[in-house]
Structure 1
């Protein structure tokens, strides 16, 4: 699918089977969403420039993601997709500046694009160039990333309350309670890792774009690019803090599991020690020797029971006094 936007933010559709021979001068953005090869060839013919394929977007080398060719600027960034689901992913999006136009190629629909399109069509205003449009789009992407981080912090705080909160202690008796919390921590860690990779990619794109002539010659664009760079740097530091917090929660969960397991083992160990003396007494009087005077006593059996009880009670009292129980 091919969508185009004029400088006044009016959206138009460029069908793949149309007979459009050239692009209007006021078209500043061409957005290719899951394009077929014939659609790519059509846009290439209209622009007079070769577009990267889906396989090209997967390259991770900086020289393949950020380069200029025939005065056209080619950039590829990894954006977080499906951040609100249980399976967040990264999708590669190409940003291409061809003359005064911006071309984007994407094989997913990150929420930031929908937010940006809704914003420019709801409050339309004149867009001078594709470079300015790209900076505004990057600004929306960074804002959406900040929103993802904010939602992640709220979720992590909820997990922390579930691990350390007073109400959670009774719930820990439920089977696999802390194991489920560890699974939640792993899910948040996966999302945070993808956000970090996305911010790194966006920082490279912003730095490369900021050095281009299109931005350097425009004072407003230059200031906007510097503001985006500061936001990306701030978010990257915040993500590093969140990652450390997740590591702490994971270590704490494993520590609590070990403590609870040790408490169970401690109970069994103490029970073994408490019942060891009675077992010894019962074992002695259970031996079948001919000469055991106590076997002939009228009160031998009650006495043996009394000795076993005393031998169990004394260790229990000692353990309570020592604070081991």
Structure 2
């Protein structure tokens, strides 16, 4: 309980300022299509009866305690406008939340934090092809204030319903306020990164075995596609390092000190994922180069075989060309055994050339 009292004391001035500024703003009208869930949490428990954003906001303001958690899925600018006005969300952050396709980041607007996370999902496939989608990405944006947290999700995966239920079962953690939700989202996202990297490891092992295991030279298209999917994961993981470091190390009014310690664990997991993704990128580059080298060697061997056979068949071609000139005076032209003798000499020369190429490894 002391942790909750400390949090309330830290955020009370900011909440009071924002509440006073928004008293004249009417309750937001939000389309039910984008609202996934909305609830008030007080002392680590969910308050029953606050089914709409308007009811939840009024309850928090009337009681002077607790916080609102509103979950949205792909809202339009009109759907988000009412909530943005009520909670005094910065227009730039609101624009990012609507348009999506943002880089992972953490920004501070007055008394509100705005965080962007890239979610990823491993796409199951029976066989990896040159056009297989391996990593599917989405986004989760989080608006964090003293008495509210708003999560905006983009994409068909990364739902937060299970996460909400798990937090509701942990009253002590949820009692720390809105920052506990931000930590839970970050922890969930990074844990998903770990799951995807483990699945990618299996795909990379299969490609590596094909290239180096004697089962064939592999397919450069498949390797390149897998490398592109790893780069997609890298774009989601790498930019998140700085925001996680900031949340773990820098004191912020919106983040409870005890929750900041939890962010250190998330930062450690993220560092491990970053190392794995970087190693995947380097390994796939090496595999692609090895595959191209094998293809080049195979092509050179084919060219040597072709050149050897061209040299062998050049002998009878030359002899046939000479005797096809129709001159009256040709060597052994009127000799009874001239024709078989020329054939024998031609065959002998061809066999000698063939033997030489075999000894040199060309055939």
Number of residue pairs aligned between Structure 1 and Structure 2: 310
Asked if structure 2 preserves the Cα contact closer than 8 Å seen for 1:215 and 1:222, the reply is no
Asked if structure 2 preserves the Cα contact closer than 8 Å seen for 1:73 and 1:97, the reply is yes
Distance 1:14 1:190, change over 3 A: farther
Aligned mate of 2:347, from 305, 309, 319: 309
Tell me which residue corresponds to 1:8: 45
Show CA shifts across 1:100-125 (max 9, x none).
Answer: 4322122224337455346446x554
Distance 1:72 1:54, change over 3 A: closer
- Give the unaligned 5+ runs of structure 2: 1-33, 126-131
Asked if structure 2 preserves the Cα contact closer than 8 Å seen for 1:4 and 1:29, the reply is yes
CA shift for structure 1 position 282 = 2.3
Aligned mate of 1:131, from 179, 183, 190: 179
What is the RMSD computed on CA atoms of the aligned residues?
Answer: 3.1
Distance 1:271 1:67, change over 3 A: same
TM-score (norm 1): 0.82
The 3-state SS of whatever aligns with 2:321 is helix
Determine if the alignment matches structure 1 residue 160 to structure 2 residue 201. no
Determine if the alignment matches structure 1 residue 105 to structure 2 residue 143. no
Distance 1:90 1:13, change over 3 A: farther
Distance across 2 between alignment mates of 1:225 and 1:21: 28
Distance 1:140 1:197, change over 3 A: same
Distance 1:74 1:31, change over 3 A: same
CA shift for structure 1 position 301 = 1.1
Asked if structure 1 preserves the Cα contact closer than 8 Å seen for 2:120 and 2:196, the reply is no
Distance 1:21 1:315, change over 3 A: closer
Distance across 2 between alignment mates of 1:233 and 1:112: 24
Determine if the alignment matches structure 1 residue 79 to structure 2 residue 92. no
Tell me which residue corresponds to 1:175: none
Distance 1:157 1:82, change over 3 A: closer
Distance across 2 between alignment mates of 1:243 and 1:191: 10
Asked if structure 1 preserves the Cα contact closer than 8 Å seen for 2:118 and 2:236, the reply is yes
- Give the unaligned 5+ runs of structure 1: 173-177
TM-score (norm 2): 0.74
Determine if the alignment matches structure 1 residue 41 to structure 2 residue 58. no
CA shift for structure 1 position 289 = 1.6
